[in-house]
Structure formats: structure tokens, C-alpha cells
Structure 1
Amino acid sequence: MFASGTRMLYVGPLVATKRHAHHAAQVVIAPPGLDLEDGADGRIHARAAVIPPRMRHGHGACPHAALLFLDGDDLASRALSRNAEPRCETWGRDTLEVKVPRNPTPEQARALIESILSAVDLHQPPRPRHPAARRMCAYLDGSNPGDLASLSHEAGLSPRQMRHAFARDIGLPMRAYLRWQRLRRAIAAVEEGASLSAAAISAGFADSAHLSRVFREQFGMTPTQGLSSVTWRTLD
């Protein structure tokens, strides 16, 4: 797994996942082909696909593929959320011509990320976010966020206005966004060498079982399947 800020690139075999949804967009390049399903029993088989953020989906196993995760706060992910549809038949991109190397070096990984994003052709810019929503994201990214009243005061809005502006511009309620940020912190801790139990506690989960439940909801697999066998490298 190659990590760079709000982007993560995985190259290798994919395990089958149950239906799930998370705050990241995904671009998958699977030369042998991959079965994809949406949240309403739609199914396609594709060699390349773009799954917008927060869309319920699942996929089958594949012996070799590239999977680019773009966090929901990433500009590219926000652009992909414009006019996004929950039907998987709109996700297929078999015209994308991107080669997936085996065991890529960091230089090849950077080039692969650029090739994928160029092939996707993000011609529509993301919708602008309310300044208060941007300030709220920065505040929630902190290690010790306060209650809603203090968060709203920090953003300069009433609690009701803050909830509405945040959900509209970010795509998630504040509580769900905070859960996603905790999950990201747990993944980062594992990336740095922490055990799943230590990562769970450091990220604010009650215990490793709590982390496992949230991880399965968000990624359709267990943390052991998704993290323990992965070699992490940073591109920053």
C-alpha cells in the first residue's frame, strides 16, 4: 500500500468484500475483470471502474488489480461526487487504458496514480464548500474535538445551521465524519507499525472489537484482511 496524504494506492490481489460504503472514492483497474455490485442488487463485470464516495458497493475477488482510494476531502474525490449515481452500471470505465505493474516501486506508484487520475479525466471541478464547513473539518480533524455547541461557536453558526451546512457540503453528518476520521487515524497507526489493539485505542475506539465493527461497515472486510498483510510505503 502506497500512502500520500489523502490518497492510498493498493496493487495486488483483491479479496471479495461484502456491500459497504465509506467516505472515499475508489478507482479500480482490474485487467482480468472484476464483479461489482451496488446497494440495490445491480451487478456489472468491468476491467475498470470509478466508485463515487459514500456509494454502497461490493466487489468480487481478483488476482491482480490497482485500487486507488481518494479520501472524501480530496479534490479529486469531491469532483467525482458531482452527478454521482448509486447504480453500478454508471461506474464502469472499460475504455481506460492503464497498465498495472506488479510490485511497483515508489516511482512507478506515483506514475500509476497520475495515469489513473489523467485517464479518469476530472473535467468538472468540485462544488465549493461553505467556509464554516471547512473550519469544522479542520476542527474535527483535531485529536480532541469538543461538543456540538463549542464546535458550532468555533464555526460561527448555530448548531442547527452547522449540522445542515456540514452534511450538505461534506456529504456526511458530523458524527459519521468523526467516525471516518478515527478510522483513518487507526489505519495510519497500523501503517506506522502499531498493533490493531493499540491503533484502536490511539484513534479513540473503545477497543479492537469496536474498530473491527466499524472497519467491516466501511470496507466490507475485517481489519486483518485489509491491513495486516499489507506492506506500507509513503510517497510523501
Structure 2
Amino acid sequence: MTMRPFIAVLAGTLLVVIIALFAAMQTAQPLRDRLELQAAGLIKAEAGGMVIAQFETARGWASRHAMLTPRGAISEETRDRIARGIAALPGAGGVHWTDGTMLAEPGEAPVESLQCQDDVAAILAARTLRFEESSAELAAGGTELLDEVAAALKPCYGARIAITGHTDNSGDEPANTVLSEQRADSVKRALVARGIAEQSLQTRGVGSSQPVAGLDPADPANRRIEFTVVAKLQVRPTPIDTPGPR
């Protein structure tokens, strides 16, 4: 029986794809090894080995895109230099921090994400996310206000958003600090439920140490949440792909 023409074409196409994939696999490993070696040298110079760079996908395939994992506290300036340095390596693709703080593309410089900050500040100018006394539960009206905040933060994709919890000065300060952290965590969970990427949100609590300017430290209005868009790099989504020359 003779093979039908379309089956022959299909078989030929599959053979070409298999050969191409095999060739890519043969070149991918050397490229990854070279990128990881060069990235390790750059990281050692900038942060003394405080960052792990991996050029592979979640499935373990070699990739020209770097996944950077911090092993301790690293300044934003150092993160910036590392991300841009690795993105500039010959053959490298995009750079992503696994804790979600920065994304970079070769040749791009960081820019401040001011618009998101302004939008959130405008929403909270006349209203504040407040809490019940000695509680991490939002006071009345907080749910609707969080909806507005989440909508304003969604365009901040790629930025680190700091959520800071505050208390008034009733009670002892260690307990206030814990409560303020719980309030920040509560807001973080609520924002994640509204579609904000969890890895972009960073929380902290400062207790009653930073009352609102002009208010008595005991004023209930000090029981609040503040948002700060820390930094953002220009983001162009870059798919994880098979390594190859740029």
C-alpha cells in the first residue's frame, strides 16, 4: 500500500521538528552553563553570593531566561545592578526575581512607578482603611475601599507594593507591633483575593511609632494601612523558551 501524500508530508514535518528539538537540546546545555557561570561571577562581585541564578524552566528545561533567588536581604540598588547586568549577558533573555520584586529586559533601565502611587494616594486622601480596636478586622466601609485600592494597584504589575500597618498607642508597643503586622497581612490577603499578585506584596507593621502628623497618638485614626509603590522596572512579558542565539 502506497503512503498517501498528506501522511508523507506529516511524517516529514514531524521528522524535521524532532531533529530541530534534538539540535536545540544539544546547544541548550552549553548556553545555560555559560550563562550560569557568567551570572555567578557577576553576582559574587555585586552581592558576595547572596543570590542564586538559574537558567531553566519550572520543568527543568534549559532556558536563556534567568530566575534569581535572593538568599538574604539585598538592597534595591544591588538587585537593580544584578538584574541589568545579567540581562546584558550575550544570549540572555529576561530576568525575573523569584520573590517578584523586579523584572528586567536587556538594555532597559529602572523607572519609578509614580502613577500607581498617585492613584492610591488619591483614593485614600479623604478615606482611610481603618480597623476595629485591638483587631485586624477592617472597620465598616473597608471592603468597598479595598475594592477601589485593588483596582488602582492592578496596573502596577511588576512593582513591589509595600503594605504598612499602624496602630494607635493604646496597649504596650510589642503587642501593637504584632497587631500592626496582622493588619498588614489581613489587607494583603484581601488584595490577593481581589487579583493582586501575592509575590508583589510586602508587608510590615510599625505599631504606634508613626502616628498621623497632627493627630494625638491615641486617636483611633492612627489605626490604619498605608501603601507605597516602591519601584518598578519596565516590563515586557517574556516567555520561557528553548535557549538559542538572540
Please report the TM-score for the alignment, with normalisation by the length of structure 2. 0.25
